[in-house]
Copies of this chain bind each other. A is one copy, B any other.
Amino acid sequence: MAKVPSAAISRLVTYLRILEDLEAAGVNRTSSEQLAEEAQVTAFQVRKDLSYFGSYGTRGVGYTVQVLRRELRQILGLNRRWGLCIVGMGRIGQALADYPGFSSTFELKGFFDIDPAKHHLSFGGIPVQGMEELPRAVAERHIELGLIAVPGQMAQSVADQLVESGIKGILNFAPVVLEVPKDVAVENVDFLAGLSRLSFFALNPKWREEMVG
């Protein structure tokens, strides 16, 4: 089995979402062509990405939506829900806590905030707690992932506390590059990173025409 480009993994997540939309729409069968159009990549790319992991289609026919969906969840480790806590219960944290799309892949198991004024709130029956409760909660409730939704200056400190508590992965919404041990996965969901592509548009035209991609 060949080396898997990490970019392929990102695309698999997109394919999965498309398959779930198709399934919800009652579609049974699809093709690399259709997936490619929806994901805005080439059909070659779709087939290659899938081929890193196995053969899930039928030649001459295509893919069965339900089958491919299940296989992708299996590959991505999303065939079970991951225990997640949210640190920082400002508006972003609260919006995420109530976001229905989370529930299919994450199980929200804890909410933490440094501000005592937030400790009267609860989400899905789980109360917001102080940071001092974090290590115990992570251990006892089998929390595997932490979502950081605090201001940038505090993000590294929160990350340290999460790592210290034994967390395995971090979803970081703060606009900073976090330092964590390399066995801890970090995903930056930095909204200022949005600048990177918009900057392509804002880019001095003199350079834009030199660009690739």
A interface residues, Cβ below 8 angstroms from B: 1-7, 9-10, 12-14, 17, 38-40, 52-53, 74-78, 82, 90-92, 94-96, 98, 101, 105, 145, 152, 168-169, 171, 173, 175-177, 179, 185-187, 189-204, 207, 210-213
Q: How far is the CB of A162 from chain B (nearest CB, A)?
A: 13
**For residue A92, which residues in chain B have a CB less than 8 angstroms away from its CB?**
91-92, 95
> With A4-B211, A6-B213, A77-B204 in contact, do A169 and B187 touch (Cβ < 8 Å)?
no
- Of the listed residues A189, A194, A195, A203, the one surrounded by the most CB atoms of chain B closer than 10 A to its CB is A195
For the complex, what is the distance from the CA of A53 to the CA of B105, rounded to whole Å?
42
Q: Which residues of B contact A196 (CB under 8 A)?
A: 9-10, 12-13, 187
With contact pairs A13-B196, A92-B92 given, residues A211 and B101 touching in the complex (Cβ less than 8 Å): no
B171/A207 in contact, CB under 8 A: no
Cβ contact within 8 Å between B212 and A3: yes
Nearest to A11 among chain B residues (CB) is B196
Scoring A179, A186, A189, A197 by chain B CB atoms within 10 A of each residue's CB, the highest score goes to: A197
- B177 A40 Cβ-Cβ under 8 A: yes
